[in-house]
Amino acid sequence: MFTGIVTDVGEITSLTPGGQTGDRRFVVRTKHDMAPVPMGASIACSGCCLTVIEKGPDWFAVEASGETLEKTHLGDWQRGQRINLELSLRLGDELGGHLVYGHVDGVGKIASMTPEGGSVRFVFEAPGELARFIASKGSIAVDGISLTVNEVEGNRFGVNIISHTQAATTLGAAKVGQRVNLEVDMLARYVQRLLEHRP
């Protein structure tokens, strides 16, 4: 379980085929002190919950299955790529964003970026099957970042990214057309399911 509050931007230092066919092993450099992070711990990597299988003082290794590579943009990752990181939530931690599970629902893309005062107005395009779960003033995780939706139009939605978020996440170096991992708010999923099954 995560909150969507990014705590570090890590860097992919190597990627190699994993133990299973189609799997891939990533080594990530981080500013986090990895000493207290146990083996088998979950870390959200640009919104995707992955398990620590090896670690050092300032790095950790994870493995992504073929299905994960296909259903997220992890398959696009290259050496030197920067990714958003968040350690898993512990009981008693502040819930600063919204409840994020690290289960990517689909891959969207950045449709436009427009400076607006001290922030940047991002418009994201979501896969059609996810659009119905995205609501104005609702929450969504984009590459693991908890964001509030400003408006929705068809399968596009807009958010304002303040300068702090740009500096503390990968969105500061984002480009139009870039693919992003999307996780819709779980509450929206349950509400939609209830509406679909009303007598």
Q: Considering the entire predicted model, what is its pTM?
A: 0.91
Count structural domains, the chain. Answer: 2
- Shared-domain flag, residues 54 and 113: no
Q: Which amino acid is located at 116 in the chain?
A: E
- Residue 98 in any domain: the answer is no
- Shared-domain flag, residues 118 and 149: yes
Between the CA of residue 47 and those of 5, 16, 117, what are the distances in Å? 10, 21, 28
Residue range(s) defining the domain that contains residue 150: 106-196
- Shared-domain flag, residues 115 and 169: yes
| 117 or 14: which leads in pLDDT | 14
Q: Which amino acid is located at 155 in the chain?
A: N
Radius of gyration of the chain (CA): 17
- Shared-domain flag, residues 78 and 113: no
CATH of the domain at 20: 2.40.30.20
- Residue 67 in any domain: the answer is yes
- Shared-domain flag, residues 126 and 44: no
- Residue 149 in any domain: the answer is yes
Q: Dump pLDDT digits (tens) for 22-67.
A: 799 999 999 999 999 999 999 999 999 999 999 999 999 999 999 9
- Residue 97 in any domain: the answer is no
- Shared-domain flag, residues 72 and 120: no
Strand order in the sheet with 179-184: 145-148, 139-142, 179-184, 106-116, 119-125, 156-161, 151-153
SS3 at position 66: helix
**Nearest Cα to 66, choosing from 24, 27, 15?**
24
CA atoms within 13 A on the CB side of 121: 9
pLDDT score at 1: 82
Sign of the torsion formed by the C-alpha atoms of 76, 170, 26 and 62: negative
- Residue 95 in any domain: the answer is no
- Shared-domain flag, residues 52 and 130: no
Q: Dump pLDDT digits (tens) for 80-138.
A: 999 999 999 766 566 666 788 999 999 999 999 999 988 999 999 999 989 888 989 98
Q: How far apart are CA 190 and CA 188, in angstroms?
A: 5
Of 87, 122, 155, the position where a domain reaches its end is 87
- Shared-domain flag, residues 12 and 58: yes
